Amino acid sequence: MAHYKSDQRDILFNLIDVLNITQYEEYGFDESAVKEIINEYDKFVENEIFPTREKSDEEGVKLTETGVKVPENLHKLNKAFYEMGWFALGQPEEIGGAPCPNALSSLCLSLSTGANTAWSMYPGLTKGAMNVIKKVGDEWARKTFIEPMITGQWGGTMNLTEPQAGSDVGAAKTTATPIDGKDGWYKIKGTKIFISSGDSDLYENIVHLVLARTPGAPEGTKGLSLFITPKYRVNDDGSLGESNDVTCTSVEHKMGIHASATCVLNYGDNDNCEGYLIGKEFEGIQNMFIMMNEARLDCGIQGEAQANLAYEMTKQYVNERTQFKTEIIKHPDVKRMMLKMRAMTRGLRSLVLYTSDLFDKAKKDEKYEDVIGLLTPICKSFCSDRGFDVAVDAVQAHGGYGYCTEYGVEQFVRDIKIASIYEGTNGIQAMDFVMRKILKDGGKTMKFLSEDIFKTSNNLDDSFSFERGQFSKALGAAQDAMGFIGKKAKNNEMNYVLQNCKDFLELASHIVVAWRLMESANIALKKLETADSQDEKDFLQTKVDDFRIYCSQFLPHAVAHAKTITSFEDDITTYKI
Amino acid sequence: MAHYKSDQRDILFNLIDVLNITQYEEYGFDESAVKEIINEYDKFVENEIFPTREKSDEEGVKLTETGVKVPENLHKLNKAFYEMGWFALGQPEEIGGAPCPNALSSLCLSLSTGANTAWSMYPGLTKGAMNVIKKVGDEWARKTFIEPMITGQWGGTMNLTEPQAGSDVGAAKTTATPIDGKDGWYKIKGTKIFISSGDSDLYENIVHLVLARTPGAPEGTKGLSLFITPKYRVNDDGSLGESNDVTCTSVEHKMGIHASATCVLNYGDNDNCEGYLIGKEFEGIQNMFIMMNEARLDCGIQGEAQANLAYEMTKQYVNERTQFKTEIIKHPDVKRMMLKMRAMTRGLRSLVLYTSDLFDKAKKDEKYEDVIGLLTPICKSFCSDRGFDVAVDAVQAHGGYGYCTEYGVEQFVRDIKIASIYEGTNGIQAMDFVMRKILKDGGKTMKFLSEDIFKTSNNLDDSFSFERGQFSKALGAAQDAMGFIGKKAKNNEMNYVLQNCKDFLELASHIVVAWRLMESANIALKKLETADSQDEKDFLQTKVDDFRIYCSQFLPHAVAHAKTITSFEDDITTYKI
């Protein structure tokens, strides 16, 4: 059976050689500090997280009379995670955090997420909820909730979905009625579904952030407000009070992430559930989007992280397994499959780390905030969809063993799939990308990013002439496709725009990932001139190869996505099913 | 929750309008007889098979001290299946079968397989083993085994794989030692793994067909012989004797097909396992391939069948589920997804039924036997891989509900995946396709099939001018790719050939499926001229649309597969991992 492994050399290449994260003086992280953190974190992942992965999947969560029980092995892990201070990594000092470059904390998140995605969602959602409170909570809210959340006593969740309100968040019906004489407090009543970490015995209390509608609120998302609604009420001294009439009435049986509790939560069945308004009334959706945008990037990391670990485990298998008197990696078809998996997984990693790093860049140049917005749907959807593909290939490369639970790779397929669905399906991401991030923006951010892309491709070494050609073809095809979509938008033929969003997002994602691999390849080629050890030369050569493989194996399909857009002349809604 | 549904109109269109299966006079099946069989079979599938699907998956198989127990609901189903005579459908009269056109029995197999794939493997493997005995068994073997197998008293299996012998079947070590004074009988000793239906309480006896090596046999597949090795010995009067020292020592825990027992079987742990040589010594692999080729087509049917049912269930969902104040099918992105799923699932169906029909055509023109050989790896790999994609899309179209077990669609993803792996991984299929079915054949069969393809495309109505262009582009790209591969083969640069087999198989599969949809579209267009009812017109229009959608949405990717072949100039084995 394969053991846990991370590609530390590639990680450092990204953080140091490509992103140069030691440049941010406010953190005071030099190269050795970066290495030390990664090394320590990786040990924790290997020794504490990864060993819980398969067992917790097998055991799953259980709804009992006293609430949801998570698998036994997650209790020890969760406790250790907070105690070691890993939850606080990347958080500001004033709330007890340990600040570090953003790409570094994202990398760490990726390592732990890959090793047990289901578990990672408990601290993950807690972090998201805490960040909302940090940003828009008033003094009382911040004082009351942040400390127990950062120390791991209390967990957190986000509550958007209701049975009739899935992608259509604005259809939410949960109500919030002001409580007389209790300023800021509302009676919450309604049912929320698909609430990840909605209940568990990992935390003493759970801080639910709930979207609900105040009396007379307008229809749609514009009438939603956000409420801190804890599982147990909180006394003035911060201790826990009585139950807040929030009940988990069932947990979903799912394809994967069995150890993550996906809950139906009933608020106020006994008219005794109280929520505290956070942010302004009717600004619930914007405030929830602080958490949602973070969750979308985390979804991308779920795909990227699991794909990378699946690749590493498969690499061990194909180097050990012999068939036809040789290790199967020596068979050309297996080699092709593995090289494609590596190019893709490293491509996804480079995309995720680049995007994470922009949060630091944006502090100096706020244009990068828009670039983050543009790249968020790419990270979310491309990493989840293509990460899923890599997991499927990992199963395939394992043959019959891959299909058996014992080898741990089929779990990646089951666990990654949800990342294409939650936090806005990938279809919703595609619409967000084209409609909001490009058309509504007038293409400004796209143009800004394109300049960076051209800068890299103009500096490309001449030895990459074939790859330059492939990349130009994809870029040209993307311009054609954008032209087609732009024209339809101008003519207000919106069905034509909407039917093509998904292919356009896919195409744009390929270009962005190829660009990141291009930058890596160019840097690697320069470093090869002075590299001395054979190990280092071999590694740098793999960075050159990743870009080559991506250009020949994936970019033709990027062009195909463009052709599907430009060659289909009909309004698809006129077709009958 | 969606209910069972089959697309009977499309099925009849394939069988009657496209394949004209009433032409085979030996069966005496007119159109109403075809309809009646389908109607009756479909009722059985809806009422008896489909209701067992989710429950049997949840329960799974269990290994007990007395052997493998299958889920309770499969006992009643399996009994009824044989009693109603469905197992005997398509079998010759002389063994108690009910002959019918081959495409019709394949269609029935598809309906039942789609509704519970895991269960379908018990009668499926029994049929395969029975057919081997029918074809190469001597009189005693045929007399002894066929009757109890066709009536459902005894089951059957195929035993190739061993821990060290997966794709490399020739590495099998199981031995067969002649028993003195017992002509034709050998002591069998060894361990076989991944044996589907290897043990169960559905049958009184299980007839294992086992590949083993006689003393002094040559290495590799050429030294393998095939042995009937029943679980219980058979007395002269056909009654069951003592146990034959075959033990199921474990069952695999798997991603899917939980109700199918995947067994480790130990033969002769007590040196008391006896097997009867079937066919000639050293001709085991050829004889096993009678069953293997059938199993490969059945794998294709597993993908095709489940994809079709997944589509039908999703169609119900997207027509019922409302978001943003309308049924989600009305959203362009969902419509696009559904139209692609329909074009693909119907394309897979048309491929499977066309190939099945060739068995009847081959009786008059044996060239079609080679076409079956050429199309087998296409059916096996394309239906399993693309059927898997459809299942994934079905989950996606269901949103969060798709990820929940309750809706029954995520099970398709888990259950289809194995079809890409067993009976020769899809990588092995690709090599079989390029190396044996094209290069070794000197391209003769490919050319023969191409003539049929050109005939159809030359007759294509002028209203399909865009589609003709797309199809020509794909054909041209395939010729380029084949030219590239052929040249490398001629120069004996075999790594270049092997690294491209998978992309070439994918490309060729797209063309074949587009061709089948083209033929359907052309027929539908002609029928539209005289169709009177609106329902019929609507249906015929969907056949035109399927071809259009396939050309615009899938064929650009076929071209991309060709580009990945012709644009990559390196021997992939020279790259380092």
Token pair for A415: 């666990």
What residues in B contact A332, CB-CB < 8 Å? 495, 498-499, 572-573
Q: Residue B101 falls within a domain, yes or no?
A: no
Looking at the complex, does the CB of residue B343 fall below 8 Å from at least one CB of chain A?
no
- Decide: A265 and A199 in contact? Cβ < 8 Å: yes
Query: Is the pLDDT reported for residue B3 higher than 90?
Result: yes
Summary count for chain A: helices (H), strands (E):
18, 14
Q: What is the pLDDT of residue B1?
A: 75
Compute the distance between CA of residue B139 and CA of residue A246 in angstroms, rounded to an integer. Answer: 73
Q: Which of B233, B263, B283 is the last residue of a domain?
A: B283
**Residues with Cβ < 8 Å from B420, sequence gap 6 or more?**
A396, B303, B381, B384, B385, B388, B426
Compute the distance between CA of residue B390 and CA of residue B304 in angstroms, rounded to an integer. Answer: 9
Q: Which whole number is the average pLDDT over A47-58?
A: 98
> What mean pLDDT, rounded, does chain A reach?
97
Query: Is the pLDDT reported for residue A285 higher than 90?
Result: yes
**Percent of chain B residues topping a pLDDT of 90:** 99
Phi, psi of B67 (to 5 degrees): 115, -165
What residues in B contact A166, CB-CB < 8 Å? 323, 399-400
Compute the distance between CA of residue A310 and CA of residue A396 in angstroms, rounded to an integer. Answer: 11
Q: Which of B283, B312, B338 is the last residue of a domain?
A: B283
Kindly calculate the radius of gyration of chain B based on its CA atoms and give it in whole angstroms: 24
Looking at the complex, does the CB of residue A249 fall below 8 Å from at least one CB of chain B?
no
- Decide: B33 and B563 in contact? Cβ < 8 Å: no
- Alpha carbons within 13 A on the beta-carbon side of A100: 25
Query: Is the pLDDT reported for residue B349 higher than 90?
Result: yes
Alpha helix segments (H runs only) across A208-269 = none
- Distances in Å between the Cα of A307 and the Cα atoms of B37, B154, B315 are 47, 44, 31
Phi, psi of A189 (to 5 degrees): -145, 125
Q: Residue B484 falls within a domain, yes or no?
A: yes
Compute the distance between CA of residue A159 and CA of residue A164 in angstroms, rounded to an integer. Answer: 14
Compute the distance between CA of residue A414 and CA of residue A475 in angstroms, rounded to an integer. Answer: 34
Structural domains counted in chain A: 2
Looking at the complex, does the CB of residue A431 fall below 8 Å from at least one CB of chain B?
yes
Q: Residue A11 falls within a domain, yes or no?
A: no
Residue B575 binned pLDDT confidence (cut-offs 50, 70, 90): very high
What predicted TM-score, i.e. pTM, was given to this entire model? Answer: 0.98
**Catalytic site residue B423?**
yes
Write the residue in B252, B335, B572 that is nearest to A575 by C-beta: B335
Tell me B164's DSSP state.
T
For chain A positions 516-545, those within 8 Å of chain B (CB to CB) are: 538, 541-542, 545
Token pair for B62: 């269990």
pLDDT (tens digit, 9 = 90+) per residue, A101-131? 999 999 999 999 999 999 999 999 999 999 9
- Decide: A540 and A524 in contact? Cβ < 8 Å: yes
Provide the CATH number for the domain around residue B485.
1.20.140
pLDDT (tens digit, 9 = 90+) per residue, A507-530? 999 999 999 999 999 999 999 999
- Decide: B478 and B507 in contact? Cβ < 8 Å: yes
Q: Which whole number is the average pLDDT over A38-67?
A: 98
Looking at the complex, does the CB of residue B94 fall below 8 Å from at least one CB of chain A?
no
Which residue in A54, A338, A575, A576 has the most chain B C-beta atoms within 10 A of its own C-beta, making it the best mutation to test that interface? A575
Q: Residue A193 falls within a domain, yes or no?
A: yes
Cβ within 8 Å, pair B559-A560: yes
Compute the distance between CA of residue A404 and CA of residue B539 in angstroms, rounded to an integer. Answer: 42
pLDDT (tens digit, 9 = 90+) per residue, B379-418? 999 999 999 999 999 999 999 999 999 999 999 999 999 9
Q: Which whole number is the average pLDDT over A385-391?
A: 98
Q: What is the pLDDT of residue A296?
A: 97
What residues in A contact B391, CB-CB < 8 Å? none
What residues in A contact B400, CB-CB < 8 Å? 161, 166, 193-194, 421-422
Q: Which residue of B has its CA nearest to A424?
A: B399
Q: Report the SS3 class of residue B312.
A: helix
**Percent of chain A residues topping a pLDDT of 90:** 99
Q: Residue B472 falls within a domain, yes or no?
A: yes
Q: What is the pLDDT of residue A516?
A: 98
Residue B79 binned pLDDT confidence (cut-offs 50, 70, 90): very high
Compute the distance between CA of residue A550 and CA of residue A467 in angstroms, rounded to an integer. Answer: 9
Compute the distance between CA of residue A333 and CA of residue B428 in angstroms, rounded to an integer. Answer: 9
What is chain A's length? Answer: 577
Tell me B70's DSSP state.
P
- Alpha carbons within 13 A on the beta-carbon side of A220: 3
For chain B positions 5-64, those within 8 Å of chain A (CB to CB) are: none
Tell me A260's DSSP state.
S
ipTM over cut 0.95: yes
B531 C-beta neighbours (distance < 10 Å), count: 16
What residues in A contact B167, CB-CB < 8 Å? 323-324, 399
Phi/psi zone of residue B423: left (φ > 0), alpha (ψ -120 to 50 degrees), beta? Answer: left
Q: What is the pLDDT of residue B273?
A: 98
Q: Residue B217 falls within a domain, yes or no?
A: yes
Compute the distance between CA of residue A170 and CA of residue A220 in angstroms, rounded to an integer. Answer: 4
**Unique residue bearing structure tokens 């006293």:** A66
- Decide: A248 and A69 in contact? Cβ < 8 Å: no
User: Got the DSSP string for A33-78?
Assistant: HHHHHHHHHHHHIIIIIGGGHHHHHHH--EEETTEEEPPHHHHHHH
pLDDT (tens digit, 9 = 90+) per residue, A191-203? 999 999 999 999 9
pLDDT (tens digit, 9 = 90+) per residue, A127-151? 999 999 999 999 999 999 999 999 9
Q: Which whole number is the average pLDDT over B184-190?
A: 98
Q: Which one, of B116, B106, B119, B123, lies nearest residue B11 by Cα?
A: B106
Q: Residue B246 falls within a domain, yes or no?
A: yes
Which residue in B472, B564, B565 has the most chain A C-beta atoms within 10 A of its own C-beta, making it the best mutation to test that interface? B564
Query: Is the pLDDT reported for residue A569 higher than 90?
Result: no
Cβ within 8 Å, pair B556-A545: no
Print the domain residue range for B476.
443-574
**Exactly one of A294, A423, A467, A506 is catalytic; which is it?**
A423
B476 C-beta neighbours (distance < 10 Å), count: 12
Residue B419 binned pLDDT confidence (cut-offs 50, 70, 90): very high
Compute the distance between CA of residue A268 and CA of residue A189 in angstroms, rounded to an integer. Answer: 5
Strands (E), B65-131: 67-69
Q: Residue A477 falls within a domain, yes or no?
A: yes
Q: What is the pLDDT of residue A543?
A: 98
Compute the distance between CA of residue A199 and CA of residue A231 in angstroms, rounded to an integer. Answer: 9
**Unique residue bearing structure tokens 């599969």:** B509
B495 C-beta neighbours (distance < 10 Å), count: 17
Compute the distance between CA of residue A131 and CA of residue B293 in angstroms, rounded to an integer. Answer: 59
What residues in B contact A405, CB-CB < 8 Å? 252-255
> Beta strand pairing status for B232-234 and B240-243?
antiparallel
Strands (E), B222-312: 224-230, 232-234, 240-243, 246-251, 262-267, 274-278
pLDDT (tens digit, 9 = 90+) per residue, B127-159? 999 999 999 999 999 999 999 999 999 999 999
- Residue A322: its H or E element: strand A322-323
- Decide: A27 and A363 in contact? Cβ < 8 Å: no
Query: Is the pLDDT reported for residue A219 higher than 80?
Result: yes
Token pair for B317: 């969902």
pLDDT (tens digit, 9 = 90+) per residue, B433-442? 999 999 999 9
Q: What is the pLDDT of residue B569?
A: 87
Cβ within 8 Å, pair A567-B470: yes
Q: What is the pLDDT of residue A1?
A: 76
To the nearest whole Å, the CA of B267 is away from the closest chain A CA by 21
Q: Which of B235, B256, B283 is the last residue of a domain?
A: B283
Provide the CATH number for the domain around residue B279.
2.40.110.20
